Structure 1
Amino acid sequence: MRTALLLLLALALVAIPGSLLPQRPVAPIRVSDWKEANPAVADLYEALGLFDVYGSPWFAAVYLLLTVSLIGCIVPRIAVYLRSVRQPPARTPKRLDRLPASATGTTTLSADAALGGAEEWLRSKRFRVRRDGDSVAAERGYLREFGNILFHLSFALMLVGVAWNTMLHYKGEVVIVEGQAFSNNLTQYDDFTAGAAFRPANLQPFTIWVDSFIAKFETGDVQRGAARVFEANVRIAHGAGEPEQAMIEVNHPLVVDGTQVHLIGHGYAPVVTVTDPNGDVAFSGPVVFLPQDGNFTSLGVIKAPDARPNYLGFEGFFLPTAIVDEQGPRSVFPDALAPELFVNVWTGPPRDETGRPESVYSLTKDGLEQMRTPEGNVVTFRIAPGQAIDLPDGSSLSFDDWRRWTKLQVSDEPGLWLVITSVGLAVAGMLLSLYIRPRRLWVRVVEGPDGPRVEAGGLDRADSSTGLDEDVTGLAAAAGVLDATEQHCDAAVVDEEEDA
C-alpha cells in the first residue's frame, strides 16, 4: 500500500507538465506558437514528450506500475478476507470483564434457555453465531472490509477503463450546412483525434443529413438575445438502411450504434455566387462564417481560385442584424433580422495547385492585392440578400441567401462505461467502509451460588463506533438478566482475544 501511495503521488507529479504546457492532441496550434516563442528549450521539451504528456512512455510506465501495485495490494487482501468469512466467529475470551464493554448478572432462565435466548437475539441483529458449550460467540460487519476491498478494486478497474478508453477512443468534429450531409468517414471530418489502437475500421457506418437547424433567442427586454432553442432536425441512415427522422439538441446527443453525436456549435453560412470577368461562374454555394461575439458577428472568406484571368478572394463580415453607427458596422442581435455582408476584395495572378491543405477560414494573401476602383480607392461594399455587386474588373458577387450551419462532435468512448461503473462501485465501497460497524459480542453462562450467572462482553473492531454498551446490555437481557451490572475497561484487548 505504501508503494501504491508513492506511485499515486508520482502520477500526480508527472501530470503537472500536461497542465502547464499546451498539449498537441488538443491544441496543436498552441504547441507550435509556444515552440516559436521558446526556441531554446523547444527541442528538449519535444524529446521529453512534454507536449504529449499523457501519451508519453514515462507517463504510461508510472500508470502501469500503479495498476500493478494496486493489484498486488488487493489480491492478498481478498484471500485474507475470504478466509475470515469462511471461519466462524472467534472463541469466547476467558475474561469478558476486560473487554471495552461488559455486563454481568444472574439470569432467571436455565443455562440452556439463557444461551438459546442470547443466540436468537444475536441472529435477529444479523450476527453470525457460534455456540460452544457454555458460551455463544457472534460477529457482524464483514461488509466493512468488503467495502474497503471493493473501493481499491474499483480504483484499479477505473485505471483499466481509462487505459482502454484512451487507446480505442476517437472524437471528430464536422461543420454541416443546412441541406448537406455527413458520412462517418475519416475524410469527412474537419478535426479528428483518436487513441493509439484506433483503426478506421472501428468507425460505425452511418450518414446524417441536416435538414434544418432551428435557433431561437429571447426578444424581450430581460436577457435580450439569450439562447432559448437550438435544435437540429436530421435524418440518420445506418449503413445502407433507409433514413430515419431524428433531432439533436444541446446536452441531448443522438446515439447511433453506440456512437454519440453531440451538437456543439452553430452559425451562419451566406450563399453567394462569384462570376469572373469572362462571365463564368467561378464559385457558387454556402460559405461558413465563424461567430466572433454573442451577437454572431461572423468572420469569413470567399475563395474563387478558378476565376480567370485573375484569382478572386473576398474577406468580410456577416452581420445577422446589421447596423452602421459611430462604432462602425456591427450586429445588435444574434438572429438574422436584417442580415448583410461587409466585404473587401483581393485579386492576383492564378495560383498553381500544390495539393497542400489550406484553411477555409482564412485568406492567404501572398501575391494578392486589394482591388481598387479606377480612381484608386480600395473596393469595399455592403450587400443584403438578393443583391449583386459589379466589380471594377468586370466580375460580380451576388448574395443569394443565407443558411445556418451546425457543428457536430462524433465520438466513441468504449471504456467509458467501465470508468463510470468503477466510480459507482468505489462510492458504494466507501459507504460500506464508512458506515458498517464490525462488532464482536460474547456471552457465557456459568453456574453460581445463586443460580446461573451470565457474563456478556463486546468489542468494536473499528474506531468511532457507537452503541456497543447498548448491544452488550441487550445481549445480557436476552439471556434473562433483569438487572445487569455494566463494566468498562479502557485497556487493550485481552491476550485471549488477540489469540482468537
Structure 2
Amino acid sequence: MTVTAPPRQAAAPPPPPARPSAGRRAAGFLLRQWRRLTAMRTAIVLLFLLALAAIPGSLLPQRSLSQTNVSQYFADHPTLAPLLDRLYLFDVFSSPWFAAVYLLLFVSLIGCVLPRALEHARALRTPPPPAPRRLSRLPDSAELATPLPAAAALDVVEEELRVRRYRVVRRQRDGTDELSAEKGLLKEAGNLVFHLALVALLLALAGGKLWGYEGSILVTEGQRFCNSFQQYDTYSAGPLVEGSDLSPVCVGLEDFRAEYEEDLTASSFTADIAFGGPGEEGRPTTIGVNDPLRVDGDRVYVTGHGFSPTFTVTLPDGTTFDDVSTPFLPTEQSTMASEGALKLPDLGAGAEDQLALQGFFAPTGLVQGGILTSIDPRPLAPQVAVVAYQGYLGLDSGLPQSVYSLDASQIERGRLAEVGRANLSVGESMTLPDGTAVTFTGHAEFAALQFSHDPGQVWVLAAAIAVLAGLLGMLLLRRERVFARATAPSGDGGTVLGVGVLTRGSGDGAPRFAALTDDLRAALAARATTRVPSPGGGAPEPEAPPRDR
C-alpha cells in the first residue's frame, strides 16, 4: 500500500524587526551628534575656526577700542562699511557667531577631556598589562642567555627597571615567570593638563569679559579724572558690571614727556601721575606705555598723547576767560599735526551769543602760501590756524555730538556763522567783528589714558603657564612598556631571558633599547659571577652584599 505524505507547508516568514520608537530614535540621533561634537577632531576644527574668526577683529577697527576709527572707516568706505557692520565685523568679539564658536569649542573640550581624565585616573590604579605571547613581534626585542635561574634573572631585570622609575609587576602564567613594567604616564597627564588648562583659559577669558570693564579718556596736564563711566570718552563693560562696581580711584596728570629719535619717531612716553581715592591727596608715580599703574586689580595705561592749545578770550565788556583749552586730536602721527574745536557756550546771556574756535595746531609750524603745516612732532615753534564761529552750538538740543569737533549741521542751517580766521603764533591775537579778542597763549600736552579692570588676568596667566607645561610634557615625555619572560631550555642549566619594549612618543626607541639590553647583560653577568657554592655543596647561592655600617 502506498502512503502519500501530506504536502509540506511553507515556513512562515519571520516577523519584521520592531522599529524603534520616535523617542528612542531622537535619543540615538542626539547621542551621535554629541559624540561628534566631543571628538578631538571637532575640537581642533573649532579651535581653527576661532583663530580664523579673530582675524577680522585685528584687521578692522573695533567699536570697543575706538569709535572714532570706526566712524572714519564709514566715511572712507560708505558702501562697504554698512555691509560689514551687518556681519558684526566692527564688533567681532561680541558678535553672536563668535560667541557660538567660542561656546561650541568650550563644550567640545569639556566633553572630550573629562572622559579621558576619568580613564587616565583608572589607568593610574591599573597595573601594567601581561606580556604578549610572542615578544619577538614587538618593535624592539632581544633574547639574553644567563646561567641564573629564572627568578634570579627576573630579579635583575626588576632592579634595573626600578632604577629607571618603571612600575613593575611580576606574574607567573602557564608555569612561566614573566615581568611587565611601564612608565611615562605623565605623557597622558601632560595631554590632559594641556586640554584642561585650555578650558580654564577659555573660562578665565569669559570671566574677564563678563566682570571686566575699560574706559579711555584724554587728560590734559593739570587735570584729574575719577573712575566713573560718566567721565570716559569711550567706555565698555561686561554684562554683569554695574556702575557701583567700579573701584573708587582718581588719577591726575602732573606732567607728560615724549622723547623722539633722530628720525623723529617716538621712543618713549612717560607720564607723572598722582593717584588715590576721591578726596585724598594723590600718591605720585610714573607710568609708561609698557609700564602701567597697577592698583587693586586695576591698570592705567598710556596709549597716546597730543596737544591742547590754550587761548585767552576777552569780551568787549572786558570779561576775560584765561587759558581755556581742549585737546586737539592728532591727524598725522609723524608730525603731530592736530585738529580740534574749543566750544565756549557761556560768553553771553543768550543762546545765540555762543563762540566756537575750530582749528589746526602745528607743534612746529610753517606757513607756505597762507597754509599752516607741521614739520616736526616736537613743540619747537607752536602755531595754530583758527576759524571762529558765533551763534548757537546746539549743546542743549539733546542730540549727541563730539566734544572734539563742531556739529556740521548747525553750520549748514546757518545757526553758526564764521566771524573770523587767522594763523596765530604764541602771543598773537585775533579780533572778531564784535570786539572779542582771541589770543593764542601756548599749549599743554595731554595723555590718552586707558583704565582697565580684568578680574580674569591672573587666571589667564596661570592657565597659559599650565598650557605650556602640559604641552611640553605631551611632546617631550615618552610612554614606554617593557616586558620580560624567563624560560629554562631543556638540557641546559641556564635561562633564556626574552625582553621586549613598546614605545609611544617622540624620538627613536632603538638606542634606548640597546642601552637597556647592554645594562641588563652587564647586570646579569655581574650577578652570575657573585654567586658562590653553598656550604652544603648544593646549588650555588648569591653572595650576600655587604651591609652598610
- Alignment TM-score, normalising by the size of structure 2: 0.77
Q: Residue in 2 aligned with 1:334?
A: 377
Q: Cα–Cα, structure 1 residues 210 and 335, in superposed 2: closer, same or farther, change >3 Å?
A: same
Question: Is residue 6 from structure 1 mapped to residue 10 from structure 2 by the alignment?
Answer: no
Please state if 1:182 is matched with 2:222: no
The aligned residue for residue 361 of structure 1 is 404
Residue from 156, 161, 169 that aligns with 1:130: 169
Asked if 1:458 is matched to 2:492, the reply is no
Per mean C-alpha deviation after superposition, the further-off stretch among 385-394 and 335-344 is 385-394
**Residue 117 of structure 1: CA displacement?**
2.0
Give the letter aligned to residue 303 of structure 1: K
What are the residue-to-residue correspondences of 1:141-152 with 2, within 5 Å?
A: 141-152=184-195
Say how many residue pairs are matched.
Answer: 469
Counterpart code for 1:6: T
Higher relative contact order (CA 8 A, sep 6+): 1
CA distance in 1: counterparts of 2:316 and 2:508, whole angstroms: 90
- For 1:158, the aligned partner's letter is L
3-state SS in 1 of match to 2:400: coil
| Match among 518, 521, 543 for residue 474 of structure 1 | 518
| 1:177–1:286 contact (8 Å) kept in structure 2 | no
- Structure 1 match to 2:425: 384
User: Partner letter of residue 418 of structure 2?
Assistant: Q
2:335 maps to: 295
After TM superposition, the structure 1 = structure 2 runs for residues 86-485 of structure 1, keeping only pairs within 5 Å, are 86-133=125-172, 134-218=177-261, 223-238=262-277, 241-281=280-320, 284-293=323-332, 294-308=334-348, 310-325=353-368, 328-348=371-391, 353-364=396-407, 365-366=411-412, 367-371=415-419, 379-448=420-489, 449-462=492-505, 465-466=508-509, 467-474=511-518, 476-477=520-521, 480=524
Q: Does the 8 Å contact 1:114/1:480 carry over to 2?
A: yes
Matched residue type, 1:370: E
SS at match of 2:403: coil
Q: CA RMSD in A?
A: 3.2
* 1:475–1:94 CA distance, 2 compared to 1 (3 A): farther
Distance 2:56 2:381 in 1: 46
* 1:358–1:41 Cα change, 3 Å: closer
The alpha-carbon distance between structure 1 residues 147 and 350, as it changes in their structure 2 partners (threshold 3 A), is closer
Worse-superposed segment, 234-243 or 143-152: 234-243
CA distance in 1, matches of 2:291, 2:81: 47
**1:363 partner amino acid:** L
Find the aligned partners of 1:350 and 1:148 in 2 and give their Cα distance. 64
| Cα distance in 2 for residues equivalent to 1:100 and 1:239 | 73
Q: 1:176 to 1:26 in 2, by over 3 A?
A: closer
- In our comparison, the structure showing a higher alpha carbon Rg is 2
Contact 2:287 / 2:293 at 8 angstroms: preserved in 1?
Answer: yes
| SS of structure 2 residue aligned to 1:186 | coil
Q: 1:18 to 1:98 in 2, by over 3 A?
A: closer
TM-score for the superposition, normalised by structure 1: 0.84
TM-superposed deviation, 1:226: 2.5
Q: 1:28 offset after TM fit, Å?
A: 5.0
- The more displaced of 459-468 and 125-134 is 459-468
SS in 2 for 1:188: coil
Give per-residue Cα distances to partners, 1:295-315, cap 9 Å, x unaligned. Answer: 111212222222337332222
CA–CA distance in 1 between the matches of 2:290 and 2:488?
73
Structure 1: runs of 5 or more not aligned? 372-378, 483-500
Q: By how many angstroms is 1:260 displaced?
A: 0.7
Q: Provide the rounded CA distance (Å) in 2 between the counterparts of 1:145 and 1:38.
A: 53
Is the 1:101–1:469 Cα contact (8 Å) retained in structure 2? yes
Instruction: Point out where structure 2 has 5 or more consecutive residues left out of the alignment.
Output: 1-34, 527-549
SS of equivalent residue, structure 1 residue 267: strand
Whether 1:84 aligns to 2:123 is yes
**Aligned 8 A contact 1:455 1:476 in 2:** no
The answer as to whether partners of 1:104 and 1:455 remain within 8 angstroms in 2 is yes
Distance in 2, Cα, partners of 1:35 & 1:312: 30
Residues 316 and 341 of structure 1 are in contact (CA less than 8 Å); yes or no, is this contact kept in structure 2?
A: yes
Secondary structure of the corresponding residue to residue 423 of structure 1:
helix
Q: Which residue of 1 aligns with 2:544?
A: none
Work out whether residues 385 and 424 of structure 2, in 8 Å CA contact, stay in contact via their aligned partners in 1. yes
Q: Distance in 2 between matches of 1:50 and 1:296?
A: 30
Q: For the residues of structure 2 that align with 1:418 and 1:260, how far apart are their CA atoms?
A: 16
Stretch deviating more after TM superposition (463-472 or 233-242):
463-472
CA distance in 2, matches of 1:40, 1:390: 43
Contact 1:7 1:62 in 2 (8 A): no
Offset of residue 382 of structure 1: 2.4
